[in-house]
Structure 1
Amino acid sequence: MDTEHTEQTEQTEHTEGAEEFLLPRSRAANERLHAMIPGGAHTYAKGDDQYPEQLAPVISHGRGAHVWDIDGNRYIEYGSGLRSVSLGHAHPRVNEAVRRELDRGSNFVRPSVVEVEAAERFLATVPTAQMVKFAKNGSDATTAAVRLARAFTGRARVAICGDHPFFSVDDWFIGTTPMSAGIPAATTELTVAFPYGDLTATEELLTRYEGEIACLILEPAGQTEPPPGYLAGLRELADRYGCVLIFDEMITGFRWSEAGAQGLYGVVPDLSTFGKALGNGCAVSALAGRRDLMEWGGLRHSGARVFLLSTTHGAETHSLAAAMAVQTVYTEEGITAQLHAIGERLAAGVRDAAAVTGVGDHLVVRGRASNLVFATLDENGQPSQQYRTLFLRRLLAGGVLAPSFVVSSALSDADIEHTVEVVAQACAVYRKALDAADPTPWLGGRPVKPVFRRLV
């Protein structure tokens, strides 16, 4: 019997009988996770509160665009590794590079030649940067950028783009979110916000705090394209008011172009940070930028030393090897273009399915084709966690794990076709709930919750 056909048939049966779709082993494993790990996961976005009640699968393994849970179910996965696994799980060229370095040792008392090669490869990929320093996660890189900007300018205030949901786990940012417990108000007061796309409001902020703002930090593009002239306008404002312009390219890096949004839009920041897709799931991030700024964290200057980035595992050889392999694959195989093509097909299919079933105004696909998300709106057109729960529940039962519709290059035409079929079936239920003006009977328990909230 054809295994692939059997799996697809089972997924379809799950969808038709979603109420019977159960994950007993995952449920037990989640209890064990919560008993030992605060929140039951090491990233809040992976928490089981982000999924329908008792339907948060615990993953056994993944290959390509598919993952399997410990209950034996296979899923087509989107948003892989919170956007980090853009080539698909266990990519052979990345795995080969990692294995080669594992046999040679992973960490030494002095820099490895791999650090030289990785820096050269990165700077060739992102030619708008002159120096780079590697770390293990995005928060360390963005916080290092902020610290460097403060040291360079002698100013304390940080201006963040208020439209971006996340910059760092560190106090200068998290203190501005609803999860600010444990962070002194004096720290939070040094962070101010400006709206994306509004140069007038940004200049008003810079004028109000003239001589106080060390940097402007933003994701250069997100769910909408930057308005014409916006990024260039920010560049001019940063220069005029003497502050450092920082691009957070954790998501836009590689998904917009190999060189990130700065490579696509042609506006050069003073500093930029990369991560996510850089290692295809391996832990590696990067702070890059102008030589005269970056050298403040080095040894070849006469000023006060800046503790920029100093991590025991920052130059772990196999992660740097993974990053080099990822950059090679992106360049040689045109991965960014593939991501856009796959995303465009998926978005078109989902929109058509939603329109045909009468929920086109309620299930809304947004974002650049390589970075798609979806919004679930209620009968009044307002964002709804209840309808999100209904939708996620039907997707899971149909073998689609999709907290977003962010694609990887491993997705096949058959994967997209099956996803659209499951979405269509989910939309039919969505329509029933809208007609009833009450999605409760289709939730199976409490609704999913936003990550950033003040109370549990």
Structure 2
Amino acid sequence: MDTEEFLLPRSQHANERLHALIPGGAHTYAKGDDQYPEHLAPVISHGHGAHVWDIDDNRYIEYGSGLRSVSLGHAHPRVLEAVRREIDRGGNFVRPSIVEVEAAERFLATVPTAEMVKFAKNGSDVTTAAVRLARAVTGRPRVAICGDHPFFSVDDWFIGTTPMSAGIPAQTTELTVAFPYGDLAATEELLTRYEDQVACLILEPAGHSEPPPGYLEGLRELADRHGCVLIFDEMITGLRWSEAGAQGLYGVTPDLSTFGKALGNGFAVSALAGRRDLMEQGGLRHSGDRVFLLSTTHGAETHSLAAAMAVLTTYTEEGITARLHDLGERLAAGVRDAAAGMGVGDHVVVRGRASNLVFATLDENLQPSQEYRTLFLRRLLAGGVLAPSFVVSSALDDADIDRTVEVVAQACAVYRKALDAADPTSWMGGRPVKPVFRRLA
């Protein structure tokens, strides 16, 4: 379909309604219509497997489903069966449900590097709980975050370090310091500069590139030597890298780790896991000061925990992680061939682990470009591919991959024309898409 003919009138009207009622027009900034070409931000009606339909009756092959959370595909039968079984039995009680201990047992069997676990609803809950616990057990105020990783929490200790820091006191932000990924010398310098002040090192154990040899082991040694807590944010790497997360794949055990996203296949569940002696500080079986670790009204809803158990079982029994890697490798090879074939192989660049692919759109000077991203996304949408990233779900099949590559090739042909003109604006259809973290709306 020509992009000039590709219109979304119902979605456009729904987006206007969303903005009138909801700040930002979405409940997650990364889902905002500013992330999509102007007037081409589809509003979703429903999804099944790797496909979604918008309210304008267009069907898309979807990538990055649920901000990477729906890794088994929408309406996965094993997950829905487990959820339905619990919904009819009640979902939230005045005392713990037996499902809570069953879910904990299943999680710890899948992630054997952890000794205790506590569930919540979203990633920010558990990363902030990990930071609070680290501060409590060390008696230190500072948090060291990996500055190369984009997001850790909606809470002040992290958001204050981003361009969207309005409303956060400088005194809070000053307690968060950053270290570069892969650079042990710089991290040691930071820990020495703030000797006996840093409560924890928190990072995603892997991102768009593999950890340098010995890096995670080196961080483990640095944390031990400087007396701080090592925290792995496994929101993305959990299950996608291995069933036991990146810590299971690379063989380096953090003191605490946090999981979410793929854990519920779209149902709201996250987890803080780690060493028993640390986690128990948030419990009742010790004689020291109590730590308010996690306490959430909805954190142990039975249907979400049932979903998590079904996800963990499906991953281990059906080899889902391996399938995600196989699908991603096929997609990456196809996209790279398509881009090279259209003469834009240096400009449309696929990066990341096969199970977690992203793409970069570079201009004629090989610099990241929101304008070229707009052009590219516009062509993908018109071809029936909804892809803010190329993060795969296991519901994709070979036909989906082949169709995606075909659409990418068509988009790359237009990309080449824009590069030759050194001006993508004629093909953008409006304002460029915008980064999530920016100071001004």
Q: Normalising by the residue count of structure 2, what TM-score does the alignment of the two structures yield? A: 0.99
Distance 1:260 1:164 in 2: 17
Return the offset for 1:150: 0.1
In the TM superposition, residue 2 of structure 1 has moved relative to its aligned partner by 23
Counterpart CA distance in 1 for 2:366 and 2:2 is 44
Deviations 1:361-409 (A, max 9, x none): 0000000000000000000100000000000000000000000000000
Give the Å deviation of 1:75: 0.1
Kindly state the Cα deviation for residue 65 of structure 1 after the two structures are TM-superposed. 0.1
Question: 1:410 corresponds to which residue?
Answer: 395
- Residue 253 of structure 1 aligns to a residue whose secondary structure is coil
What residue in structure 2 maps to residue 9 of structure 1? none
Query: Which secondary structure does the structure 2 equivalent of 1:375 belong to?
Result: strand
1:191-241: CA deviation from partner (whole Å, max 9, x where unpaired): 000000000000000000000000000000000000000000000000000
**After superposition, what is the alpha-carbon deviation per residue over 1:270-307, rounded to whole angstroms, capped at 9, x for unaligned?**
00000000000000000000000000100001111111
Aligned-pair CA distance for 1:20: 1.2
Asked if 1:441 is matched to 2:426, the reply is: yes
Q: For residue 239 of structure 1, what is the aligned residue in structure 2?
A: 224
1:224 counterpart residue number: 209
- Post-superposition Cα deviations, 1:56-104, rounded to whole Å, max 9, x if no partner, equal 0000000000000000000000000000000000000000000000000
SS at match of 1:215: strand
Q: How does 1:183-332 map to 2 (within 5 A)?
A: 183-332=168-317
Q: What secondary structure sits across from 2:199 in the alignment?
A: strand
Distance in 2 (CA, whole Å) between partners of 1:362 and 1:2 is 22
SS in 1 for 2:238: helix
Q: Secondary structure at the match of 2:119?
A: strand
Show the counterpart of 2:357: 372
Q: Deviations over 1:145-193 (max 9, x none)?
A: 0000000000000000000000000000000000000000000000000
Q: Which runs of 5+ in 2 are unaligned?
A: none
Alignment partners' CA distance in 2, 1:29 and 1:220: 39
Q: 2: distance between equivalents of 1:455 and 1:119?
A: 42
Determine helix, strand or coil for the equivalent of 1:379. Answer: coil
Cα distance in 2 for residues equivalent to 1:240 and 1:434: 51
| Contact in 1 for aligned 2:126/2:272 (Cα 8 Å) | yes
- SS state at 2:52 partner: strand
Structure-2 separation of matches of 1:186 and 1:163: 22
Identity among equivalent pairs (%): 90
Work out the CA distance in 1 between the residues paired with 2:293 and 2:23: 29
Q: Deviations over 1:98-146 (max 9, x none)?
A: 0000000000000000001000000000000000000000000000000
SS of structure 1 residue aligned to 2:360: strand
Q: Provide the rounded CA distance (Å) in 1 between the counterparts of 2:153 and 2:397.
A: 34
Match of 1:87 among 67, 72, 83: 72
Q: Contact conserved, 2:357 with 2:389, CA < 8 A, in 1?
A: yes
Provide Cα deviations, 1:24-79, integer angstroms capped at 9, x if missing partner.
00000000000000000010000000000000000000000000000000000000
Structure 1 Cα separation of the partners of residues 384 and 24 of structure 2:
25
Alignment length (residue pairs):
441
2:71 partner SS: coil
Q: 1:32 to 1:2 in 2, by over 3 A?
A: closer
> What is the aligned-residue RMSD (CA, Å)?
1.8
User: CA–CA distance in 1 between the matches of 2:246 and 2:438?
Assistant: 30
SS of residue matched to 2:416: helix
Between the aligned partners of 1:157 and 1:143, the Cα distance in structure 2 is 13
- Looking at structure 2, the residues matched to 311 and 319 of structure 1 have their Cα atoms a distance apart, in angstroms, of 14
Whole-Å separation in 2 of the counterparts to 1:328 and 1:291:
24
The SS at the match of 1:247 is: strand
Tell me what 2:152 maps to. Answer: 167
Distance 2:18 2:375 in 1: 25
- Work out the CA distance in 1 between the residues paired with 2:227 and 2:84: 46
Instruction: Measure the CA separation in 1 of the matches of 2:5 and 2:373.
Output: 19
Superposed CA offset, 1:309-330 (max 9, x none)? 0000000000000000000000
Q: Tell me which stretches of 4 or more aligned residues in structure 1 moved more than 3 Å.
A: none
Contact 2:418 2:424 in 1 (8 A): yes
Tell me if structure 1 keeps the 8 A contact 2:145–2:202. Answer: yes
Cα separation, 2, equivalents of 1:296 and 1:60: 45
Alignment of 1:28-107 (within 5 A): 28-107=13-92
Q: Distance in 2 between matches of 1:451 and 1:116?
A: 38
C-alpha distance in 1 between matches for 2:166 and 2:343: 43
SS of residue in 2 equivalent to 1:158: strand
Unaligned runs of 5+ in 1: 4-18
1:124 and 1:283 map into 2 onto residues whose CA distance is 21
DSSP 3-state at the match of 1:76? strand
**Contact 2:2 2:382 (C-alpha < 8 Å) held by counterparts:** no
Q: Name the SS for the 1:124 alignment partner.
A: helix
Give how far 1:417 is off. 0.3
Question: TM-score, with normalisation over the residues of structure 1?
Answer: 0.96
Residues 247-283 of structure 1, C-alpha deviation per residue, up to 9 Å, x if partnerless? 0000000000000000000000000000000000000
